Chains A and B, each alone.
Chain A
Amino acid sequence: EPEVTQTPSHQVTQMGQEVILRCVPISNHLYFYWYRQILGQKVEFLVSFYNNEISEKSEIFDDQFSVERPDGSNFTLKIRSTKLEDSAMYFCASSLEGGPRNQPQHFGDGTRLSIL
């Protein structure tokens, strides 16, 4: 069964440094998402991306965050200047469709980001 793959599984970065989290969505999927889960807290929506643009973002997704689909297979989340509070598990997800047909979102295994 096709899977969403995320790399690296664990990223350790100094505060203030830039970090890029990488995801390869399922190949025929059209909608892409990032979520995060701070330890002990709920899974929170960050951003959704469709047709090469952001379709929705949360208040967490401020100017320090950006997403990109640099080629036909990768989907990346960049944090420009990391803060301690960015430490979390970051999940990438993809879905075939959105809208009324509402195909489910399929999640990767996550990247654990630790900011020192």
Chain B
Amino acid sequence: AQSVAQPEDQVNVAEGNPLTVKCTYSVSGNPYLFWYVQYPNRGLQFLLKYITGDNLVKGSYGFEAEFNKSQTSFHLKKPSALVSDSALYFCAVRARAAAGNKLTFGGGTRVLVKP
């Protein structure tokens, strides 16, 4: 079975400060890992993914995430947060062997960036 934990329900950060959203996962074998963002009344929007290779992956809107195999983590980061980054962020994992490409999501972390 695969699972994702996002330990923080909400993260508050001042505009211009670094933003980190935490994610840990559990999956059999090597994982595919994803971050999605959801704005109000919208669907999940893909930010970035880790498949293989460099542990630091870069994605949309200045976001990046670091894969740490020993800690089974995939934390999302942004060096300088914007007010427009305020949204709900979801981490997801997929087992490489999954025939149906099933994504398992964490519970989401609400990010509030204050001016």
Contacts and interface: CB of A to CB of B under 8 A. Distances in A.
Interface residues of B, number: 25
B51 A102 contact: yes
A42 B105 contact: yes
A101 B20 CA distance: 28
Interface residues of A, number: 31
Contacts of A95: 101
Interface in A44-59: 44-45, 47-48, 50, 54-58
Given A102-B49, A104-B49, A45 B44 contact: no
A110 B45 CA distance: 12
Contact of B44 (A50, A55, A100, A107): A107
Residue among A58, A105, A109 with most chain B CB within 10 A: A105
B43 A56 contact: no
Given A42-B106, A42-B108, A55 B100 contact: yes
B90 interface: yes
Interface string B55-74: 00000000000000000000
A33 B101 contact: yes
Given A42-B107, A102-B94, A91 B43 contact: yes
Contact of B46 (A33, A100, A105, A110): A105
Q: Which of B43, B46, B107 neighbours the largest number of chain A CB atoms within 10 Å of its CB?
A: B43
Contacts of A43: 44, 90, 105, 108
Contacts of B49: 102, 104
B105 A4 contact: no
Given A42-B105, A57-B100, 7 more contacts: A4-B43, A42-B106, A42-B107, A55-B99, A102-B32, A107-B45, A107-B46
